[in-house]
């Protein structure tokens, strides 16, 4: 056991496990207590968690409902106690967990700040110094002096976030909560979180919104069945997560790549993507100028007969977030029935009106086009199938953003 205190914002978890007691019948808990020979079973909701987080890291925690994400955050925050293992933290922690934790419905918002202040790691003197700032950030007007039970869930989150972030913590833990607030409030929260990060705060963040994980985190962990099964760059961890969801939605027979640059790719052995190329004027390229005509050429071999196959692609930005996607069905095209052994080539061409930077293609094949441009069954997905970089088009007018809309403009003196 290492006894040296951790630096502010660091977190070290070793062999962490959490189990709840389970009883077969309703009265068994009382029976066990009375010594009637009834015994509980342990239901493990988290197991063998080892995790080291360095100061200033922003870690997104993702996984399906019931995977154990909230339990992990509650253990780190010290709200519940581990069954096995140890948790060490450096510096001051502030936690924004499930709605309602720490607030009493009968007390007013203002009264609650005093009782919930402890969860935000604030003492009385600090709290009184920050009260007006908390009220201003929460921006809930007269409701501050009304009982919390009369609040909407958005108002509760506003107050809880304002309190949790009144003073910059070394370690900030946020559980989904922000999703409840309106867009304007979310933006203000993100701004504050970004400012904290820039100043060195460590962030642990549970979210079901992958765009938030892309926006805020430089690392992600995927929890499944109470264990950490992925830990790394958000794009790879999110791709593996999406693949495992596709597997659950389908017949559960996907082979998923779980490591390396193509992590999150999958197939079920009925088609093979043999080659993916980025072409400009018929030649393979890696770098081209923004606003050039670009072709992504996808070569597919079918390993069994299919009635209505479709091929698609995604353009992803440097962080891995998809900025565009479509497929043959979406474009109103049909490949038609194919036989096992047949090979096809599909070329999508477009003008790359995108901001200079690094991009990648994800490509996929599905079977069955449904109304509304949807596809019935995904057969394979190939992540990071090809890369390209765009450099600045010196001829183009100045613009900024993601995509060049090439606006026209008329000016009139009135
Ligand atoms: N107090 C408790 N007693 C018994 N079981 C519990 C308790 N709290 C949580 N669990 C169980 O632990 C498991 C993990 O729950 P947890 O809330 O951590 O999941 P989660 O990943 O945060 O899910 P969600 O995305 O739905 O919030 C679930 O099976 C849940 O039923």
Q: pLDDT tens digits, residue range 307-336?
A: 999 999 999 999 899 999 999 999 999 999
Q: At what angle do helices 109-116 and 124-138 cross, to 10 degrees?
A: 140
Ligand 1: which residue has its CA nearest to atom 29?
66
Q: Give the CATH number of domain 269-391; options: 3.40.50.620, 2.70.50.60, 1.10.1040.10, 3.40.50.1110.
A: 2.70.50.60
CB burial class (10 A; 0-12, 13-18, 19+) of residue 65?
exposed
**What's the angle, vertex CA 268, arms to CA 265 and CA 269, rounded to 5?**
110
Distance between CA atoms of 81 and 210, rounded to whole angstroms?
29
Residue 411 Ramachandran class (φ > 0 left, ψ -120 to 50 alpha, else beta):
beta
What's the start-to-end Cα distance of the chain, in Å?
77
pLDDT at 306: 97
Q: For residues 50 and 11, is the Cβ–Cβ distance under 8 A?
A: no
pLDDT digits 0-9 by tens, 227-283 = 999 999 999 999 999 999 989 887 788 999 998 888 999 999 999 999 999 999 999
Identify which of 44, 69, 74 to mutate to test ligand 1's pocket (most ligand atoms within 8 A of the CB). 69
Q: Tokens for 67?
A: 């995977």
Residue of 60, 63, 70, 177 with the most ligand 1 atoms within 8 Å of its CB, for mutation = 70
Positions in the chain whose pLDDT score sits under 70: 1-3, 99-101, 118-119, 177-179
Closest CA to 63 of 179, 205, 173, 206: 206
Contact of 166 with 120, CB cutoff 8 Å: yes
Record the tokens describing residue 355, joined without a space. Answer: 């901001």
CB of residue 65 inside a 6 A radius of ligand 1: yes
Closest CA to 98 of 140, 157, 158: 157
pLDDT recorded at residue 48: 96
In the chain, % helix, strand, coil (3-state, to 5) comes to 25, 35, 40
Our answer on whether the CB atom of 74 is closer than 6 Å to any ligand 1 atom is no
Q: Give residue-wise pLDDT tens across range 34-69.
A: 777 777 788 999 999 999 999 999 999 999 999 999
Residue 200 CA to residue 172 CA, distance in Å, equals 11
Residue 63, ligand 1, Cβ within 6 A: yes
Q: With contact defined as beta carbons under 8 Å apart, do 75 and 82 qualify? A: yes
Q: Are the C-beta atoms of residues 113 and 133 closer than 8 Å to each other?
A: no
Residue minimizing CA distance to atom 30 of ligand 1: 66
Domains of the chain by residue range? 11-239, 269-391
> The tokens of 369 are what?
């086009």
Reported as type and span, the H/E element at residue 187 is helix 183-198
> Would the CB of 53 count as within 6 Å of ligand 1?
no
Is 68's C-beta closer than 6 angstroms to any atom of ligand 1?
A: yes
Our mutation pick for probing the ligand 1 site, out of 18, 20, 98, counting the most ligand atoms within 8 A of Cβ, is 20
CA of 388 to the centre of ligand 1 (A): 42
C-alpha to C-alpha distance for 75 and 55, rounded to whole angstroms = 19
Domain 11-239 bears CATH identifier 3.40.50.300:
yes
- Which distant-in-sequence residues (6+ apart) come within 8 Å of 9 by Cβ? 54, 55, 56, 90, 91, 170, 171, 200, 201, 202
> Residue 209 — φ and ψ, nearest 5°?
-95, 105
Across the strands, what pairs with 278? 296
Residues of 83-119 as b/e, b for ≥16 C-beta within 10 angstroms? bebebbbbbbbbbbbebebbbeeebebbbbbeebbeb
- C-alpha 163: how far from chain center: 24
Q: Atom of ligand 1 at shortest distance to CA of 226?
A: 14
Index of the ligand 1 atom closest to the CA of residue 74 = 18
* pTM of the predicted protein model: 0.86
């Amino acid at each position: 056991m290492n006894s040296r205190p951790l630096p502010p914002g660091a977190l070290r978890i070793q062999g962490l496990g959490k189990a709840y007691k389970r009883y077969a019948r309703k009265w068994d808990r009382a029976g066990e207590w009375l010594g009637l020979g009834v015994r509980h079973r342990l239901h493990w909701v988290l197991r063998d968690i080892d995790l080291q987080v360095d100061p200033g890291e922003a870690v997104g925690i993702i996984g399906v409902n019931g995977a154990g994400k909230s339990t992990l955050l509650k253990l780190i925050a010290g709200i519940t106690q581990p069954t096995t293992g140890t948790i060490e933290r450096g510096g001051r922690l502030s936690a924004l967990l499930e709605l309602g934790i720490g607030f009493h419905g009968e007390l007013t918002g203002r009264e609650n700040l005093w009782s919930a202040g402890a969860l935000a790691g604030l003492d009385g003197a600090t709290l009184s110094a920050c009260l007006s700032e908390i009220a201003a950030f929460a921006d809930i007007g007269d409701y501050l002096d009304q009982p919390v039970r009369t609040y909407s869930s958005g108002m509760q989150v506003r107050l809880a976030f304002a309190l949790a972030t009144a003073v910059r913590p070394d370690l900030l833990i946020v559980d989904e909560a922000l999703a409840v607030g309106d867009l304007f409030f979310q933006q203000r929260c993100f701004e504050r979180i970004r400012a904290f990060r820039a100043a060195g705060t460590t962030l642990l963040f549970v979210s079901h919104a992958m765009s938030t994980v892309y926006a805020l985190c430089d690392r992600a962990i995927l929890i499944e069945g109470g264990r950490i099964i992925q830990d790394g760059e958000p794009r790879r961890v999110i791709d593996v997560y999406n693949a495992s969801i596709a597997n659950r939605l389908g017949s559960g027979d996907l082979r998923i790549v779980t490591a390396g640059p193509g992590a999150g790719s999958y197939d079920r052995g009925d088609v093979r993507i043999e080659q993916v190329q980025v072409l400009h004027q018929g030649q393979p390229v890696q770098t081209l100028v923004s606003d050039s005509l670009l072709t992504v050429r996808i070569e597919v071999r079918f390993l069994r007969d299919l009635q209505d196959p479709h091929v698609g692609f995604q353009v992803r930005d440097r962080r891995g977030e998809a900025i565009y996607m479509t497929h043959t069905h979406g474009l109103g095209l049909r490949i038609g029935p194919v036989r096992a052994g047949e090979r096809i080539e599909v070329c999508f061409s477009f003008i790359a009106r995108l901001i200079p930077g690094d991009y990648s293609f994800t490509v996929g094949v599905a079977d069955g086009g449904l109304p509304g441009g949807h596809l019935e069954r995904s057969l394979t997905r190939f992540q990071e199938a090809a890369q390209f970089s765009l450099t600045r088009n010196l001829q183009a007018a100045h613009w900024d953003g993601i995509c060049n809309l090439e606006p026209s403009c008329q000016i009139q003196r009135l």
